[in-house]
Amino acid sequence: MSGHSKWANIKRKKGANDAIRGKVTTKIGREITVAVRMGGSDVTGNMRLKLALSKAKANNIPKENIQRAIQKGMGAADGSSYEELFYEGYGPAGSAVMIDILTDNRNRTAADIRHLFSKNGGNLGETGCVGWMFKKKAVFIVDRESYDKEEELMLLVLDAGADDFKAEDDSFEIIAAPEDFEAIAKVLEDNKIETVEAEVTMVPDTTVKIEGKDAIKMMNLIEALEEHDDVQNVYSNYDIDEEE
């Protein structure tokens, strides 16, 4: 499993029917609120909102929740005090971890995140300590069960501006520059090709192989961070064999 996409696939399957569902709904709602507050409620010209709404759709967030989050962003006091932070640190075996935060209490969140790192074999670092290892990319995941025409898909997305195309056992991964997100999303939609993931995320330049006890600690760290209420996204460069 690599850090930025396969973990998301596993989490999606793992969390489909458990307590993670409620946290996902809350976090996406918060992201929609902040996106509207920063760029308005019209998705035209507000890529952040468009991505948040796409994530809401992918996670089957009820329309009333989405509308409530948009209304908050348009003027209600709730949501106005959220502060956006970006934390960086090290996981087990020297792996790199980056975290998107939305919080109304910076001190509380910093203490919580530092504790989660320490508890799971890592440590919170200074700004910039691992950020240079990642590049912002648009990433799309297409499940083979819904679409399994590899060559056709590859040609479509490369023509639309994709930088890379990877065929996995059960899915296809499409990687592009953030500015090409809309063009690729449109060609997929026009050809009725569904995605299980479509987002602008942080992709590591290289990965770190992790095994044994370190692998267990790494997965525990990622899960603990993702379950924290103030954490929106977690990115890492770990590489763990599925057998682990």
> Residue 100 pairs with which residues in a beta bridge?
86, 233
Q: Is the pLDDT of residue 16 over 80?
A: no
pLDDT at residue 20, rounded to an integer: 61
Report d(CA 115, CA 125) in Å as an integer.
12
Q: For residue 88, what pLDDT is reported?
A: 95
How would residue 50 be classed by pLDDT, with cut points 50, 70 and 90?
A: confident
Specify the pLDDT at position 79: 46
Q: How far is 59 from 196, CA to CA, in rounded Å?
A: 9
Share of the chain above pLDDT 90, in %: 41
Whole-prediction pTM:
0.77
- Rounded to whole angstroms, the Cα distance separating 226 from 232 reads 7
Distance of CA 161 to the CA centre of its chain: 21
Distance CA 85, CA 100 (A): 6
Tell me the pLDDT tens digit for each residue of 125-181: 999 999 999 999 999 999 888 888 899 999 999 999 999 999 888 889 999 999 899
CA distance 139 to 59: 16
- Distance in angstroms (rounded) separating the CA atoms of residues 37 and 32: 9
pLDDT for residue 242 is more than 80:
no
E-strand ranges in the chain read 83-90, 96-103, 123-124, 134-143, 164-167, 171-176, 197-204, 208-209, 231-236, 238-239
Specify the pLDDT at position 244: 56
Phi and psi, residue 219, nearest 5°:
-65, -35
CB-neighbour burial class of residue 141 (10 A; exposed 0-12, middle 13-18, buried 19+): buried
CB 34 within 8 A of CB 102: yes
Checking if the pLDDT of 1 tops 60, the result is no
Question: Which residue, 93, 91, 98, is CA-closest to 130?
Answer: 98
pLDDT class of 48 with cuts at 50, 70, 90: confident
pLDDT tens-digit map of 196-212: 888 888 989 888 899 99
Q: Which has the higher per-residue pLDDT, 64 or 10?
A: 64
Which segments of 59-141 does DSSP mark as H helices, in order? Answer: 63-73, 106-119
